[in-house]
Amino acid sequence: MPRLTRTEASLPATWYFDDAHYTHELEAVWYREWVCVGRLEEIANPGDFFIARIGTQSLIVTRDRDGAPRAFHNTCRHRGSILCAGERGHFAGGRIVCPYHSWTYSLTGELVATPVRLECEDFHVENYPLYAAHIGTWGGYLFVNLAEAPAQTLQEFLGHEAGNVESWPLAEMVTVQRDRTTLACNWKIFWENYSECYHCPRIHPELCRIVPLYKRGTFTQADFDGSKAAATGGDGQPRLAAGYRTWTMDGQSRLPEIAGAADALDGAGMAFASFTGSMFIVAHVDYVRSVHVLPRGPEEIEINVTWLLPRGAAETCADGIHPILELGRLIVQQDGQVCEINQRGQKSRRHEAGVLVPQEWALHEFHQWLRDRLAT
């Protein structure tokens, strides 16, 4: 049964656009939780780097000489200049050099040179390493945590959701496409939209054709369990329409089946792993799609969509790439449009809060998750 059996008030409307509240959420959620910032393959070699932005914070994500991933605030210890103006690149000679006064750091963050600085006896280079951030990897994904002492390990944060996709070799899979989209909405609106299918019959007719269960617009958690989901929903509708194999416009696949995926799905067609607020993964018999969210302001987010295939599949089955991109891009476009119109309605002087109905039980749980973090 749904966990929400009566109407409940939604979050206050001002929480979706107020600058002060957005700053509070950055501190309570985004600067304390583990946040996905990309894939390990983006820093394939020692010295490769890219810039990740979480809220107002700019981070250098790189790999040291031993191959370990590192994350540093993009700020020089001298007078606070940014260290990297470009979005990605390679640190020549394994050195991070400030473009202002050429203070130089190693790939592990130590200050190693301060050219033409006048010596003084109270200056010690070991006192001025880069500001490090916690970084961890799972399934080839890179996560950072900006808290000085994270309340959870990365594994604790991932929890049982990670088990939903344990049959897919995520760490060995490779990115075949990465799309970056900016939406004019609050991060919570995007996550709320992901958390319910009440909108699916009207907004996603193509997806409803592939997954008939979505035509209902209502289902319980038992209907939609990402971990080895049953082949049918509570009313006996199949997870995938008869004759369909995967999430493409025609439900067919032109890609090789991922070893072990069919057994893990047990006829369900998709498995979900959701890491509240910032990332979700949808795994299929032939590919994996992930979406991670980064806040850009109280009314703007960045959406990064990544498609993964087993190594070599893209080269041997090139004609299978477009079909998996086509549906995923359409879903993001459809969701983006409704998220943006949802955002635009929040500023009505009469609208203090919305109302949740029973099929929106997952939104209620998300709101409780957020309130718990804001309270601490």
Residue 156 lies in a domain: no
Residue 154 lies in a domain: no
Look up the domain containing 102 and give its range. Answer: 35-149
Residue 223 lies in a domain: yes
Instruction: Say whether both 199 and 313 belong to one domain.
Output: yes
Residue 340 lies in a domain: yes
Instruction: Determine the Cα–Cα distance for residues 229 and 232; give it in Å rounded to an integer.
Output: 8
Banded pLDDT at 218 (limits 50, 70, 90): confident
Nearest to residue 281, comparing CAs of 143, 134, 133, 136? 143
Q: For residue 164, is pLDDT > 80? A: yes
- Stretch 174-184: mean pLDDT, rounded? 97
More confident residue, 201 or 223: 201
Banded pLDDT at 53 (limits 50, 70, 90): very high
Q: Which of 149, 172, 206 is the last residue of a domain?
A: 149
Here the CATH number for the domain that contains residue 170 is: 3.90.380.10
- Position 63 scores a pLDDT of 98
- Stretch 161-169: mean pLDDT, rounded? 96
Beta bridge partner(s), residue 273: 281
Burial class (CB in 10 A: 0-12, 13-18, 19+), 58: middle
Instruction: Say whether both 324 and 223 belong to one domain.
Output: yes
Beta bridge partner(s), residue 50: 61, 88
Instruction: Say whether both 3 and 44 belong to one domain.
Output: no
Q: How far is CA 253 from the centre of its chain?
A: 25
- Position 291 scores a pLDDT of 98
CA triple 359-361-366, angle to 5 deg: 140
Structure-token pair, residue 301: 């987010």
Instruction: Say whether both 90 and 221 belong to one domain.
Output: no
Instruction: Say whether both 231 and 366 belong to one domain.
Output: yes
Instruction: Determine the Cα–Cα distance for residues 53 and 297; give it in Å rounded to an integer.
Output: 11
CA triple 204-206-212, angle to 5 deg: 85
Instruction: Say whether both 215 and 340 belong to one domain.
Output: yes
Q: For residue 225, is pLDDT > 90? A: no
Residue 128 lies in a domain: yes
Q: Which of 93, 127, 149 is the last residue of a domain?
A: 149
Helix (H, G, I), strand (E, B), or coil: what is residue 247? coil
Q: For residue 101, is pLDDT > 60? A: yes
Instruction: Determine the Cα–Cα distance for residues 205 and 193; give it in Å rounded to an integer.
Output: 16
Instruction: Say whether both 182 and 319 belong to one domain.
Output: yes
Instruction: Say whether both 223 and 133 belong to one domain.
Output: no
Phi-psi region of 34 (alpha: psi -120 to 50; beta: other; left: phi over 0): beta
Whole-Å CA distances, 61 to 40, 131, 140: 10, 12, 14
Report the greatest alpha carbon distance in the chain: 78
- How big, in percent rounded to 5, are the helix, strand and coil portions of the chain? 35, 25, 40
More confident residue, 355 or 221: 355
Number of folded domains in the chain? Answer: 2
Residue 304 lies in a domain: yes
More confident residue, 329 or 232: 329
Q: Which residue has the tokens 């995007």?
A: 190
Q: For residue 235, is pLDDT > 80? A: no
Q: In 195-305, which residue ranges form alpha helices assigned H by DSSP? A: 200-203, 205-210, 261-265
Residue 350 lies in a domain: yes
- Position 5 scores a pLDDT of 77
| Mean pLDDT rounded to a whole number for the chain | 93
Instruction: Determine the Cα–Cα distance for residues 296 and 359; give it in Å rounded to an integer.
Output: 30
Instruction: Say whether both 203 and 325 belong to one domain.
Output: yes
Quick count: other Cβ atoms within 10 Å of Cβ 113? 13
Q: Which residue has the tokens 């191959």?
A: 67
Residue 155 lies in a domain: no
- The rounded percent of the chain whose pLDDT value lies above 90 is 87
What pTM does this model have? 0.93
Beta bridge partner(s), residue 183: 301
Instruction: Say whether both 218 and 364 belong to one domain.
Output: yes
Here the CATH number for the domain that contains residue 134 is: 2.102.10.10
Quick count: other Cβ atoms within 10 Å of Cβ 63? 20
Nearest to residue 219, comparing CAs of 239, 191, 196? 196
Instruction: Say whether both 83 and 180 belong to one domain.
Output: no
- Stretch 149-174: mean pLDDT, rounded? 97
CB 342 within 8 A of CB 11: no
- Position 217 scores a pLDDT of 84
- Position 68 scores a pLDDT of 98
CB 374 within 8 A of CB 30: no
Q: Which of 127, 149, 171 is the last residue of a domain?
A: 149
Nearest 5°: phi and psi at 346? -70, -20
Structure-token pair, residue 307: 């498609």
- Stretch 353-361: mean pLDDT, rounded? 93
Structure-token pair, residue 375: 């309270």
Banded pLDDT at 61 (limits 50, 70, 90): very high
Instruction: Say whether both 167 and 311 belong to one domain.
Output: yes
- The rounded percent of the chain whose pLDDT value lies above 70 is 94
